[in-house]
Amino acid sequence: MRKIFLVALLLWVPALAQPDFSTPEAAYKTYLAACQAGSFEQADLCYTASSREELKANTEFTKNRKTEQLTGTYERLKDRPYTIETVSQNRAILHWQPEDKKTPPLFFRKQKKDEGWRIDLAFMSRYIRQNEDGWSWTFPKAESLWRKGN
């Protein structure tokens, strides 16, 4: 009996650790777990394929990343209330409640059919500017154009 329990436990525990990208909320929770673990490998999986390609190409940026960036992100976001607006079959936006001028919304996208929902970091890094005063759009119509995409 004990052997059966151990085998079942060994099979079950890895299943718990599998990232879930089935919904925007599941993808967000997967991202939070990666941040809590301080794992850039896991966090990068939470981004769209095009975002991961951009990260891979930007070796100067990726070689200077620090675990504290992720764990700090986790601490800032873990208890924040939010709503998720489904924009289309392939796009959703996570809005902070109340709206926060220091932290931009998160944009989720189903880019590849078999990948599920991922954070569209490529879009965000291209069109959202952040500094000590908060965040703003680099191109005022970026959000409306993103909403119209497929």
Give the pLDDT confidence of 114-148 residue by residue, as tens digits: 889 999 999 999 999 999 889 999 988 999 988 88
The gap from C-alpha 63 to its chain's centroid, in whole angstroms, comes to 20
Where does residue 117 fall: left (phi above 0), alpha (psi -120 to 50 degrees), or beta otherwise? beta
Q: pLDDT tens across 62-99, in order?
A: 889 999 999 999 999 999 999 999 999 999 999 999 99
* pLDDT category of residue 14 using cuts at 50, 70 and 90: very low
Asked if omega into 14 is within 30° of 0 (cis), the reply is: no
Give the per-residue pLDDT at 2: 57
How many whole angstroms separate alpha carbon 112 and alpha carbon 26? 17
Helices (H) and strands (E) in the chain, counts: 8, 6
Q: What is the CA radius of gyration of the chain?
A: 17
Q: Check pLDDT > 70 for residue 6.
A: no
Q: Check pLDDT > 60 for residue 26.
A: yes
- Using a CB cutoff of 8 Å and minimum separation of 24, what contacts does 123-132 make? 125/51, 125/54, 128/104, 130/104
Which residue did the predictor score with more confidence, 44 or 12?
44
CATH architecture of the domain with range 20-148: Roll (3.10)
Place of tokens 């599998």: 18
Residue ranges covered by each domain of the chain: 20-148
DSSP per position, 57-122: H-HHHHHT--HHHHHHHHHHHTT--EEEEEEETTEEEEEESS--SSSPPEEEE--SGGG--EE-HH
This prediction's pTM: 0.84
Q: Check pLDDT > 90 for residue 111.
A: no
Sign of CA dihedral 35, 39, 45, 51: positive
